[in-house]
Amino acid sequence: MKFSEKLIALLKSDPSVTVLTGAGVSAESGVETFRGENGLWRKFKPEELASVDAFLSNPELVWEWYGYRKNLICDIQPNPGHYSISEMERIFTSFYLITQNVDGLHKRAGNSRPIELHGNIMRNRCTGCDKQFENIEFSGEIDQIPTCDSCSEMLRPDVVWFGEMLPKDALEESEIAISNSDVFFSIGTSAVVQPAATMPVWAKNNGAYLVEINPEETPLTTYADEVINGKSGVILPELLREIKE
């Protein structure tokens, strides 16, 4: 049996459930993870692409890189893992989704209000006044870096870069989710980037039953109450079948 009787019984009792996701959840849709064998951070240097300094010294390169990733994401679809997490929102009376992913696939799969810890790649915001913009395109010319229609400063991707604070609202909403959790799932994340990496630990210390779903071990594995070794697009539909029986 892949799942413990304890987990199935717990989930059948309509507990408060929180799911934390990372890049692994989108891997089966064709989005590259960051730290795997072919991970993005093996091919590109984060400090040259995902930091304020990188943006200020070469905004064109940063716009091009995010444009490339945005195009990849537009061409792909949510996978059965995303759809299962969206179904969980309808199954459990109290359900929270916290994601580190910027790809927007949870929303496309039907989750109504994912807490986006690291922002969203489809959105931009002004470096001057923080005004948000949707679906801005970049022509590839340095003098065409999109600017704000209110204050004329440069626009940037609305994602969290290295060295930046996470959005305050997302952190506050995550705290509420964690403190309410009876069951906390950590799915498809290497659990090394803070503060997301510590969220499962907070939840467990607060009394939640901690479940990890990942084909690989992570720093969280020894700490989890239950570890389900495998791909989220396979495991999650199986789990839902069992709890609906």
Q: Which residues are catalytic?
A: 118
129 vs 150: CA distance, rounded Å = 8
Q: Give per-residue burial for 100-127: e unless 16+ CB within 10 Å, then b.
A: bbbbbbbbbbebeebbbbbbbbbbbbbb
84 or 189: CB nearest ligand OAD: 189
Q: Does 167 bind ligand OAD (CB under 6 A)?
A: no
Instruction: Report the residue number, 39 or 110, with the smaller CB distance to ligand OAD.
Output: 39
Is-contact 118 102, C-beta < 8 A? yes
Residue 92 CB partners (closer than 8 Å, separation 6+)? 14, 15, 16, 17
Site for ligand OAD in 12-51 (CB under 6 A): 22-24, 27-28, 33-36, 39, 50
**Per CB under 6 A, 231 contacts ligand OAD:** yes
The tokens for 108 are: 């496309």
By CB under 6 A, which span of 58-66, 120-128, 200-208, 228-236 interacts with ligand OAD? 228-236
CB of 127 to ligand OAD, least distance (A): 17
Does position 130 interact with ligand OAD (CB under 6 A)? The reply is no
* Distance, CA of 233 to chain centre: 15
**Under the criterion CB under 6 A, does residue 200 sit at the interface with ligand OAD?**
no
Q: Is 84 in the site for ligand OAD (CB under 6 A)?
A: no
